[in-house]
Copies of this chain bind each other. A is one copy, B any other.
Amino acid sequence: MERKRKPISRLRGLMSLLESITFNKAGLVPAIAQDAESGRVLMMAWMNEEAVEQTLATGFAHYYSRSRQKQWKKGESSGHVQQVVEIYLDCDGDTLLLKIKQTGPACHTNRESCFYQQQQDEKWVNIEEPIK
C-alpha cells in the first residue's frame, strides 16, 4: 500500500481489500506469519478489520487480542515488530498469510517461533530454547 496517494483514493483501496476478506462471526480472521527469508512459520494470530487496516496502512503486522479485546501492533511493547513483505489471501478469503521480516523472537516465550513443541511418539517435545 503506497502512502503518497490522495486520502480518498487510498481509503478506497483499503476498503476494497477489506471487503474481499471473510471475517468470522466474531469479526476475526486468522493470520499466519511466516518468515519471508527462512520460510519458517512463526505464529498464528487473529486480526479484526481494524488490525488488517492498520497492517495494510503501516506495513507492520497488527493483530487483535481476544483476551484484551483490542487490536495491537505486534512488538509495540517488546520491540519485536513484524515488517510486512507480502500478504496473501486464501481461496475461501478467510485466512491471511503474511510473509514478514521479524525483529527479535516472534513468540512471547522469547523463542523464534511459537511452534516449538514437536510431536515425537506420544509426547510434545520442546525443540527450542528461549533466546537469552
Q: List residues of chain A with CB under 8 Å of any chain B CB.
A: 1-2, 12-14, 16-17, 20, 30, 32, 34, 38-41, 43-44, 56, 86-93, 95, 97, 107-109, 111, 114-119, 121-124
Which of chain B's residues have a CB closer than 8 A to the CB of A17? Answer: 119, 122-124
Give min CB distance, A51 to chain B, whole Å: 15
- Pair B107/A91 contact, Cβ less than 8 Å: yes
Which of chain B's residues have a CB closer than 8 A to the CB of A88? Answer: 115-119
Give Cα A111 to B89, complex, Å.
13
Other-chain residue from B2, B32, B93, B117 in contact with A89 (beta carbon distance below 8 A):
B117
Give min CB distance, A120 to chain B, whole Å: 9
